[in-house]
Structures are given as C-alpha cells and as structure tokens.
A and B are shown apart, each in its own frame.
Chain A
Amino acid sequence: MTLLDKLLQLLVAVVVFAAVMGVVLLVADRARGRRTDLVSGIAFTAPAFLLLLVGLLYPAARTAVQSFLDARSAGFVGLANYVQIFTQPDLVVVLRNTLLWVVITPILATAIGLVYAVLVDRTRFEAFAKALIFLPMAISFVGAAIIWKFVYEYRPNQQNIQQIGLLNQFLVWLGFEPVNFILAEPWNNLLLIVVMIWIQAGFAMTVLSAAIKAIPSDIIEAARLDGVGGMRLFFYITLPSIRPAVVVVITAISIAVLKVFDIVRTMTGGQFDTSVVANEFYVQSFRLSNLGMGSALAMILFVLVVPIVIYNVRQMRKVDGR
C-alpha cells in the first residue's frame, strides 16, 4: 500500500464518520414536541452504545463462553482450561510472576512517588525535578523496555570484551563478575518490574503531590508550631491526610500492572520464567492458537481486576460518608 492509498483510506473514514454523525445530529434536531428529549437522548447516546455493545460487551460474553471450550472453540471442556492454569507447572509460574508484579510494583512505585513528591515539595527546582520523574509516562512500554535493555545487557567476561550495559559495567568497576541478569531466575522478574516502576512512579508522584498541596496549610502550620517536624510531620499529618489519594494510586497502578504485557514481550518474550498472565494470554491465543486457554487467561485477568476495583469503590464510599 502506498502512502496515497493510506491517505485515501483515512479520507474515506473521515467522510463516512462525518456522514453518520451528521445523520444522527439531524435526527436529534428534527425531534419536536413531547418526544424531543427521548429522541435526542437516544440519538446522542446510541452511536457510543452500539459500538460498546458490538466491540466490547458481546466479545467479552463470548470470551467467557470460549474459556469453557477447547483450543478450537469446538467442544465443551468444562473447567479444564482453568484447572490447567492452576496445575501445569509453567502456568503456575506465570501466576506466581503476576502475583509478584501486582504486589511489588504498586507499593514501590507509590512509595517512591510519594517520597519524591515530599522531598521536592516547595523547593526552588520543584517543576523541573518533577518533570524528570514524570517523563517516562509519555514513553511507550516498548520504548521503555528498549531503554532498559541498554542497562541490563550482559557481555561475557572475556578478553577485549567490554560491557555495554550500565549495570554490569558497575559490577565490573566494583570488581565483581558481570551477571547475565535476564537469565537469573527468579530475580529477572524483578528487573522487568523495575521498568514498570520507573514508568509508574511519575503518575504516583503527580497525583500524590496534588493531594499534598491540597492539605490545608493551617493544619501543617499548627503542627509545626507544636514542634512536629520532619518524619513525624510526614507520618502523623501528611500521610493520613492523603490516604484516599494513596488508595486511588495503588489501585490504578495495580490495574495497569495486571494488563501490561509489552514490557515482558519486548525484554524476554516471556522466556526464562518471566511470563505473566497478560503475556501468556497473547502467546496462547495468537502464537499457539489455543483459543480456550487464551480466553480462560483473559477471564482470570478480569477476575483479578474486579476485587481491586471493589476495594477502591468501598474506600471512596467511606471517605464520602465521613
């Protein structure tokens, strides 16, 4: 396809979309009398609703059904796919890794973001300092994974071979042997998790920094006049005041972590015992063409997200009810 063909496709899309929207608005505008609200309401919401029905709701329901079918979606196998996930050793490793990711990443990213937000709060270089931590948020997971490949790369310690990965160079400078980090199971999982923490800390910092700035200044001043400072100010005043924001940040990062597969795919391809559920979903569905197993993994992802969301909604209710 030449660029001209592609632009033509874009143009067709624009025209089709504009025409559909034009008809919808025209219908909404023509409605008069007592039915105005009903017709307009339906016209305004119908396009989005239809798309969600066809593109999200129906496929999700089908996935739920497919997770009880075999690899080719032909025969009913009951819970076999799920049983396999919890018993087959290499799939159990996938579950273990996902657990590692979802426990470690939100806690560390939030802690680092929080500490940093407090440290640079109201300093002269605050805006610049924040931008540095925030920037990785704009980078794709693929880009971030490549950036960190340059940090973790390993070269065997032989004559005339120099390290090109920063981390191994540090080991060599300190007098240690270089390590092939990516193969070092199970620690290699932590190195992949570092990439996600590197991306998410900026998000945590931004939200928590806004929460810190929203603490009424008279509370802080009162505490300071009472001689509360430093660490105690942080633990007794700052942290309790921003608790709801901390819950929101941990929730958001947990959900993002469950769904991420780009980092694993780009850095290891899921080899060396580093796969996670989201990556295994892709491998099973599209590389091994096991639709049943892929669907079951997708459903597990969904089941893992739900309790996190429910907890978050409950926390919000508590705060609102106070």
Chain B
Amino acid sequence: MVTTVTSFGRNGLSDWLIQRVSGVVLLAYTLFILWTVATGVDYASWKALFDQTWLKVFSLMALLSLVAHAWIGMWAVLTDYLTERLMGTTGNVLRLILQLLIALVLFVYMVWGVQILWGY
C-alpha cells in the first residue's frame, strides 16, 4: 500500500487544489509566451520584456507552479504504477529513488530559472 508521506501537501485535497491553481497559472503563462513569440520578437524587445518586474514575478509564479504541478503529477503516476502491489518491495524502492530524482530535477529547474530571470 502506498503511503501519502511523499505527497506535496501531505493531503489529497490540498494536492488537488494546488494542481488546479498551478495548472491555470501555467496555462496563462504558456499562452502569454506563445502570443509574445508569435507576434515576433528580436533580442532587444525580448530582453526588455524580461527586464520588467511584473514579468519576473509572473515567470517566478509559473516556475513555482511548474515545480508543484510536476511534483504532484509525477507522484500520482508513480504511486499508481510503481507500487508494492504491482512489483513487490522493488516498487517501493524504485518509486522512492525516482521521487528523489524528480525532486532533484525540479530543484535544478527552479534554481536555473531564477538564475535566468535575475542573472542576465
């Protein structure tokens, strides 16, 4: 049986709500970036856009949403397929290792993103 200790909010309802809110933020950000790219950008206008505080805030919001959204989503997938019921003890070990790897990757995305937003 899968335990909830590794879920994002330690609680299914809180995970559900965070998943929805972060999903809406990510959709809004994706549409905004797509719209910006589709209307045509050169380096100067693109850089000027990302120099503005409101877009740094929006980007950071999207980045945090991505981390939470991906964690909850990957948790749901892993706890459904890599389980003790399906794979025995191996499932538990494999799931925990993958969850730690996912956490590491998401942490890298986070720090890298902050570096991009405030570093250049």
**Are A and B physically bound partners?**
no
B residues engaging A (CB < 8 A)? none
